[in-house]
Every structure is written in structure tokens, then in C-alpha cells.
Amino acid sequence: MSLPKSAYLSDVWRDGIFNNKVIFCTGGAGSICSAQVRAMVHLGANACIVGRNVEKTERVAKDIATARSGAKVLGIGAVDVRNFDSLKAAVDKCVKELGGVDFVIAGAAGNFLASIDQLSVNAFKSVMDIDVLGSFNTLKATVPHLLESAAKHKSDGETPSPTGTGGRIIFVSATIHYTAMALQTHVSVAKAGVDSLSNSVAIEFGPRGITSNVIAPGPIKDTEGINRLARAQDVAARHAQVPLGRYGTVKEVADATVYIFSDSGNFVNGSTVVVDGAAWRNHSTDVGSGFQYPDFLISGEEVTGVSGLKKQSKI
């Protein structure tokens, strides 16, 4: 299904900034990663997405290609990021057919809600393997090409490289491990590992021109992630918990991707861009002592009924 640009990209970016570039993405048929890739394709890149499901990966690749006339998007199914050889074969095919790899998104992830009591050793291992080992495998399979691209597209921070940017990787993570979340131990541990991997890549490969960053989406509407974590009937309460009062959109994650991969992200390395409306900072639904969030703040009422009060100043 061809999507309007407004579904996956803001108007602030210039068409053509990723001309002649190639993006490789794991988990690229998923709701968030497909929007990230679609945005890059719209702005000039060709792409290769990989996933386990053959039919879905091929279908989404065809769909992403509609974002720009002349775009080439490979969809390679039956690729499990836990299996290095299948991933390496996909990268080789991408390089052969599209000419290289300039940008990588390590987006494949596994998730389900389960308490530690309900979590078998194999269930924990499955998520660790998909998220942590899979991200490492993605890096190992693509890094020779990222190094090549980084060497061709250096930035001194002042004069834009005439050939644009390249040699950049983004790991898609989460925010739940910043605090902790019940029923998400496996994912919290895994995403902490993913963040740590990105930080190590930033310092080990930075001297050779590669940048490595994390995008940490919060609750994003109409995604497999949110559908696995929140019940539909709880949406209003979940929105109220987000300081910006709503779930995010895949477009907002895609915009963060373009920020990091384009000239605007030249000096951004070893960072995490959190796209969550400040949701992770707000783990309580009330301000404290029963003052309901955000209703109490919006009401303009004064705090009453507790000790230690002072006359409140008005702005």
C-alpha cells in the first residue's frame, strides 16, 4: 500500500539527500523500521530489508519502493538475525545488487509480556539472542561496508561532504530499562545490552569515521510493539501517562533517523535519541499524594491538604 509522505516523513528534509546511498535494515518489515526505511528511500536511498517472514518481507519491500519513483528495495526473507551466515548472505546480496551499504538499522527485536515466573530459560534466551546477538551479528556482517562508506564520506563539520554522508549505524532500542518494568525483564536486559553495544561501536569505530547511535522509541501507535505491550482498552490511561498526552507516530521515529543519518547528525555519535514524549520520565499517574497526572497540573488548582505548603507564586 503506497502511503502519503505525511505518514512517514516531515516536510523539513530536502529530497535527494540520500541519492546513491544504500540502507540495510533488519526487522525492516516491521511498523517502525519500515517507516524509517521508507523515509530514507523517499529522500533518495535504495534499500535492503531482511526478516524471517518471506512473504511479509517481500511485500513490504515492494511497498516501500513506492515512496520514490525509480527506487530499488530488496526484500530478503528467511533471514534470522540469530544466524550470522544467513545475515551475511543477505548483506552480500545487497552489496552485489545495490552497490554497497552506507547506513544500517539494527531493528530486529523480540517481545512479549511475561513475568520472571512465566519466563522459561529458553524464552529469556530467545529475546537475548534476537536483540543482543542479532544486533552484534548485524554489525559484524555490515561493518566492512560501513567502513568503506565512512572513508568516502568524511565530514569536517564545516564544509558538507560533496558526496553526502555514510558509514552510520542506528540500533533501535527502548526506554524500559532506564527504570525497570514488570513483565519486561527479558527485554530490559536485552535493550541495555543493545545500548551498550552501540556505545562501544561509537568509540571503537569513531576513529575510522563510523557513527553509532541508538534510537529509543517510547509508545508508538499502531505498532507491533505497543500491541504486544498494552491492551486496547487501556489506551486513554496510557496516553495520560505520556507528558505530551498521546502515543508517538512512526513518522516521528523516522524523522529522528534522518536527523542522525543526514548532515544534521555529523557530530552525533554514541548518543541515544529518545522519541517518547518524555514518557519514561513519568512512571506515575499522579503528581504525588493523589494529585492526578496530568489533570491536576492542567487545572491550575493549588496543592492543598498536605503539610509544608507555602502561598504559591503565579507565573
Binding site residues, ligand HXC, CB under 6 A: 109-112, 114, 118, 120, 122-123, 126-127, 130, 174, 176, 187, 224-225, 228-229
**Residues contacting 201, CB < 8 A, separation 6+:** 139, 169, 210, 212
User: At residue 190, what are phi and psi to the nearest 5 degrees?
Assistant: -65, -45
- 189-193 contacts at long range (C-beta below 8 A, 24 or more positions apart): 189/124, 189/128, 190/109, 190/127, 190/128, 190/130, 190/131, 190/132, 191/131, 193/128, 193/131, 193/132, 193/135
Instruction: For the CB of residue 131, give the shortest distance to ligand HXC in the complex, in Å.
Output: 7
**Nearest-angstrom CA–CA distance, 79 and 74:** 13
Q: How many CA atoms lie within 13 A of 248 on its CB side?
A: 26
295, 298, 277, 276: which is closest to 286 by C-alpha?
295
CB-CB contact of 137 with 74 (8 Å): no
The answer to whether 205 and 212 have CB atoms below 8 angstroms apart is yes
User: What is the closest distance, in whole angstroms, from the C-beta atom of residue 286 to ligand HXC in the complex?
Assistant: 22
CB 56 → ligand HXC: shortest distance, Å? 11
Nearer to ligand HXC, 73 or 226 (CB): 226
Q: Nearer Cβ to ligand HXC, position 120 or 307?
A: 120
* Minimum CB–partner distance for residue 95 and ligand HXC (Å): 26
Q: Count of CB atoms within 10 A of residue 62's CB? A: 11
- Of 109 and 260, CB closest to ligand HXC: 109
Which residue is at the shortest CB distance from ligand HXC? 110
In angstroms, give the least distance from the CB of 25 to ligand HXC: 14
What sign has the CA pseudo-torsion 170, 173, 179, 185?
negative
Q: Which CB atom, from 19 or from 179, has the smaller least distance to ligand HXC?
A: 179
What is the smallest separation between the CB atom of 75 and ligand HXC, expressed in angstroms? 17
- Cα–Cα distance list, 224 to 31, 192, 229 (Å): 7, 20, 9
Residue pair 55/112 in contact (Cβ under 8 Å)? The answer is no
Active site residues: 173, 191
Cβ-based nearer residue to ligand HXC, 68 or 191: 191
CB atoms within 10 A of CB 152: 15
- How many helices (H) and strands (E) are present in the chain, helices listed first? 10, 7
> Please, which residue, 155 or 223, has the CB nearer to ligand HXC?
223
